């Protein structure tokens, strides 16, 4: 799986009249600007159309990102799990869905989601569905995030969790919030994490049909 991408056939409605489709314009050359532990920066010189009907090469700087997966864990009582975590770049303590980078070799979005639910929340889920799949900032970053709905939750015994929390994850606070209350928090401007906001709104929409329209996770 390429960095920050998902298989094209995983995109629902790809044969619809209005649907994102794979496309790759020619890259004349490329240069790595920065390589960090979680992401990098690259410049591609891309051949693009010009105003005269020909083509021109234009530089595009962007962040190279491995992608991420998030989990909307929904209890039998209709409450959603939110975790509070410090986010230094935006200077906020943010309430978020359990989530993490797809940064383990050979691991896809679903495996990442399962792992993060165990590590951050100490939970497993029997049923998994795809809620929403989005590009976080497509004009600047290759990051793609897939949000899953997890149901049929059960606690994982502490001795089975092989993970040490540190840094921002050392003191995660947790709250179970009714789904429609979470929607009100998003619409009221109280929640700002993108995956959380989209996941909550998508889950609320899907709940109106009893989640019957959701794609099984694959």
User: Does 155 qualify as catalytic in the annotation?
Assistant: no
From the list 23, 168, 169, 180, the catalytic residue is 169
Give yes or no for a contact between 87 and 94, defined as CB atoms under 8 angstroms apart.
Answer: yes
d(CA 144, CA 65): 8
d(CA 73, CA 54): 50
Helix (H) or strand (E) holding 201: helix 194-207
d(CA 179, CA 182): 5
**Residue 210: how many other CB atoms lie within 10 Å:** 8
Strand order of the β-sheet with 144-155 is 99-101, 68-73, 144-155, 123-135, 215-216
Residue in the block written with tokens 């009714």: 178
Active site residues: 169
């Amino acid at each position: 799986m390429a960095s920050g991408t998902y298989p094209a056939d995983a995109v629902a409605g790809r044969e619809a009249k209005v649907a994102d489709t794979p496309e790759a314009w020619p890259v004349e050359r490329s240069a790595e600007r920065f390589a960090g532990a979680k992401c990098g920066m690259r410049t591609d010189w891309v051949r693009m159309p010009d105003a005269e009907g020909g083509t021109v090469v234009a530089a595009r700087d962007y962040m190279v990102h491995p992608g991420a997966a998030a989990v909307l864990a929904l209890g039998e009582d209709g409450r959603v799990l939110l975790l509070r975590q410090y986010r230094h770049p935006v200077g906020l303590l943010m309430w978020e869905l359990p989530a993490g980078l797809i940064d383990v070799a050979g691991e896809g979005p679903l495996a990442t989601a399962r792992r993060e639910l165990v590590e951050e929340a100490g939970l497993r889920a029997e049923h998994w569905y795809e809620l929403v799949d989005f590009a976080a900032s497509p004009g600047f970053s290759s990051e793609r995030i897939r949000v899953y709905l997890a149901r049929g939750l059960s606690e994982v015994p502490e001795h089975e969790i092989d993970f040490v929390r540190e840094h921002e994850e050392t003191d995660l606070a947790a709250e179970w919030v009714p789904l429609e209350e979470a929607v009100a928090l998003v619409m009221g401007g109280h929640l700002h994490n993108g995956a959380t906001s989209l996941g909550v709104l998508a889950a609320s929409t899907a709940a109106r049909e009893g989640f019957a329209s959701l794609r099984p996770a694959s």
